């Protein structure tokens, strides 16, 4: 597994060799359906895609922590996106990084939650009920990991606890002073249109400092306005390229 640190706006790609063709291009954007189909043969073969994604995510989060002792706040949804975040939280805790898990769904990925809690992560189930109070408690060294909603979202936008927490966090995320909170998005910034790059009608989402996207570029990350909301996009190779079929939805120039 490799990770590219190039941003979507400045990456270069090469198709000069068969080896190059096996590496995902940050310039080609694929649909959620195409990516899920490409994952299927790997999952059927027992490839631990979620664990691989989580390890890459944890590495980026370590790099993004602004100072020693910085706390990671994981906003974890109920799907595989939350699972990626929870397994990453387990790795971070084992490395001595304090992590607080804030559930935004009615349930969490069971194996991921068990791994994270056993590794020492704190579980805060009250934050969603009192989002303003929770946000006020966050120091500037906190790093938000947005694992609320991934490519399984049926339409743009956030709902329930995810919407309430994002609404409370948004002023801190968009501030331009020392109190600004940074955000690492898992696969995509939660709430964007994964295929078309649209933003929620009410404008409630968390603009990312960094987006760690897995397997292949999501088309929405190359389309406006999501491209400007994703920050620096880092594409993690999970071996999907040979299994991607059809033409990408977007070919960025």
Q: Which residues are annotated as a binding site for K(+)?
A: 81, 146, 190
Q: How many CA atoms lie within 13 A of 128 on its CB side?
A: 19
State the Cα–Cα distance between residues 172 and 142, nearest whole angstrom. 11
- Who contacts 176 (Cβ-Cβ below 8 Å, separation ≥6)? none
Q: From the annotation, which residues make up the binding site?
A: 80-84, 146, 150-156, 187, 190
183 close to 144: Cβ distance less than 8 angstroms: yes
Per-residue b/e over 167-176, b at no fewer than 16 CB within 10 Å? bbbbebbeee
State the Cα–Cα distance between residues 217 and 220, nearest whole angstrom. 8
State the Cα–Cα distance between residues 186 and 146, nearest whole angstrom. 6
Q: From the annotation, which residues make up the binding site for (6S)-NADPHX?
A: 80-84, 150-156, 187
- CA distances to 116, 119, 173, 199 from 1, rounded to whole Å, are 22, 24, 31, 31
């Amino acid at each position: 597994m490799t990770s590219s640190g190039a941003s979507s706006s400045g990456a270069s790609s090469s198709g000069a060799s068969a080896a190059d063709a096996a590496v995902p291009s940050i310039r080609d954007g694929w649909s959620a359906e195409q990516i899920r189909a490409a994952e299927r043969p790997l999952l059927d073969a027992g490839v631990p895609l979620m664990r691989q994604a989580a390890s890459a995510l944890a590495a980026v989060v370590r790099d993004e922590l602004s100072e020693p002792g910085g706390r990671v706040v994981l906003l974890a949804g109920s799907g595989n996106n939350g699972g990626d975040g929870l397994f990453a939280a387990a790795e971070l805790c084992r490395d001595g990084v304090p992590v607080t898990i804030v559930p935004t769904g009615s349930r969490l990925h069971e194996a991921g939650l068990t791994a994270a809690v056993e590794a020492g992560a704190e579980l805060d189930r009250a934050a969603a009920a009192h989002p303003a109070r929770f946000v006020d408690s966050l120091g500037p060294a906190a790093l938000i990991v947005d694992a609320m909603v991934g490519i399984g979202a049926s339409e743009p936008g956030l709902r329930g606890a995810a919407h309430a927490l994002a609404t409370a966090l948004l002023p801190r995320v968009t501030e331009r002073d020392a109190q600004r909170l940074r955000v690492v998005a898992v696969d995509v910034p939660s709430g964007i249109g994964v295929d078309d790059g649209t933003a929620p009608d009410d404008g409630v989402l968390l603009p990312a400092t960094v987006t760690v996207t897995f397997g292949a570029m999501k088309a929405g990350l190359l389309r406006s306005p999501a491209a400007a909301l994703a920050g620096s996009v880092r594409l993690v190779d999970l071996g999907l390229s040979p299994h991607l079929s059809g033409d990408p939805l977007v070919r960025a120039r």
